[in-house]
Every structure is written in structure tokens, then in C-alpha cells.
Amino acid sequence: MKSTQKDNIVRTSCKNCIFAVYEDKKQIDCQAKRVHKIEDKFEAYDDEKEFYVLERLCNYYREDKEKYLKYGIMNTQLVRDEAKVNFVIFCLFDKIDEEKAKNFENTISTIVSKYGKNKVEIHICHKDFKERNIVQKLVSSLDARATCYFDKKFLQKIIMKTKKSFHVILDESNFDKISIIFDVNSLINEDMKKLTVIKKDNAIAVSNLAYKITAINKECNNYEQIIEYVMKESKKRDLYQEAV
């Protein structure tokens, strides 16, 4: 086995993780079925154990064994739920009436409830101040936030402040594609892909960290231009994927 003495980069040691499976003192597996999906890893050791070190952050890493035991079995589903990718969802309306609002509410609430309300922050964005009563009903039913906007400059202010991982912009042409959030989570947490842009049909999920870094480096506050930069760099670095 190799020593842990390597360059100082972001790593996760499996040694004390509750999901590490040992045979005697040597780690042979991961109960969350992750370690063998990750190519960038090396074997390490110390005076106590031999274990894997992942050349990346593992958001399933846990040490509190008692919290995740259920009927004597490790509750991996609880960790999967905790580690789900979280999102800012921007829902843009040019015009909205009662019928559109109802259809939208049914579509969005169904998907968000299945995914996890605590993982999704919804912004109802409308252009006509006269529609505020309809919007307010949506805000209340979906536990959302409202913004009356004229252009997309407001998007950058929210993205630069949020702690959520990805954002998705929906409008009347693709409200039903909010299901992209499941695809993003599956690619990142199940397939262990490193991605900054995921596209499904006419919906796109973009890493907020990639957006922030690009906006700062380019000294740009134009949303469309920044997204263009992020898309180009993501494809160049193989961090872009289209979901089936």
C-alpha cells in the first residue's frame, strides 16, 4: 500500500467512515457502493488500518454510526437523502393567469415533494406587477419567493449569494422539465460524475460555484454571457453532460 504523503488537495479518507467495510484491518469495500466507482483513489495505511483515500470530497462520509443504524443495519437511504444536490429553481413568467398558475403549481409541487422540499429553493419571477395576487398564492402554496423583474440582472445577485449547489431556469416552455433535478442528483451522487452543466431537452442545470468563479474571473455581470463561458469551459473540461 501507498503512504498518505501526497500533494495537499481535497481528499476523503475512508478510514473512519461508517460505510467502510473491513476484513481484519484492511478495507475491502464500501456499504454505500461508492469506493469502487471512483477511479481517483489510492490505498493508504497507518498504525491501525489499511484504507482507501479518495482524491475528491465524498459527501457520504459519516462518522456518527449510531445515527445511521436502523434495526441494526446501516441506513444508507438517510445519507442519500441528506447528500442530495440542492437547487435554486427560477420560474420565469411573462404573463400568468389563474389557469397557468394552477397547472404550474401541480407540476412543480409534485416533483419537489418527491425530491425533497428542503433541497429546493423556488423563485417565482414575473414581469407584471398587476399579477402579484396570483403570484402570492403560488408563493404561499409552494413556499417560494417572488420577484418582479424587467431583465435577468437579478439572477446574478441571487446566484452569487446562494449556498445551493445548482440552479435551473424554467419558463412556460419547459416547466415539466423540472424533473432534471433527479437526473442531476443521479449523475453526481450515484454515478459519481464531476459535472458543472447538465442538459436535458431544453432545461439546463448549472453549477452555482462554476457560475460564481466565472463571473468573478471575467468581471462580468451579464447572465447570458457568463452561462456561455461556463458552457464552453464545461465542454472543454468534460464537465458537461446531456441526460437521457
Tens-digit pLDDT profile for residues 104-162:
899 999 999 999 999 999 999 988 777 788 889 999 999 999 988 888 889 999 999 99
Per cent of the chain over pLDDT 70 is 96
pLDDT, residue 6, reads 47
pLDDT, residue 1, reads 41
Query: In the predicted model, is pLDDT for residue 3 greater than 50?
Result: no
Question: Of 55, 76, 97, which closes a domain?
Answer: 76
Query: In the predicted model, is pLDDT for residue 82 greater than 80?
Result: yes
Cell of 178: 423540472
The C-alpha angle 175, 178, 196, rounded to 5 degrees, equals: 125
Query: In the predicted model, is pLDDT for residue 4 greater than 50?
Result: no
**Where residue 93 sits, what CATH number does that domain have?**
3.90.550
Per the domain annotation, does 52 fall within a domain? yes
Per the domain annotation, does 29 fall within a domain? yes
**Number of separate domains in the chain:** 2
pLDDT, residue 2, reads 45
- The answer to whether the Cα torsion of 112, 230, 39, 44 is positive or negative is negative
Mean pLDDT of the chain: 91
Same-domain check for residues 17 and 64:
yes
Which structural domain range is residue 162 located in?
84-242
Question: Of 76, 98, 119, which closes a domain?
Answer: 76
All residues at 6 or more sequence positions from 184 whose CB lies less than 8 Å from its CB, including other chains: 85, 87, 166, 195, 198, 205, 243
pLDDT tens-digit map of 52-61 = 999 999 999 9
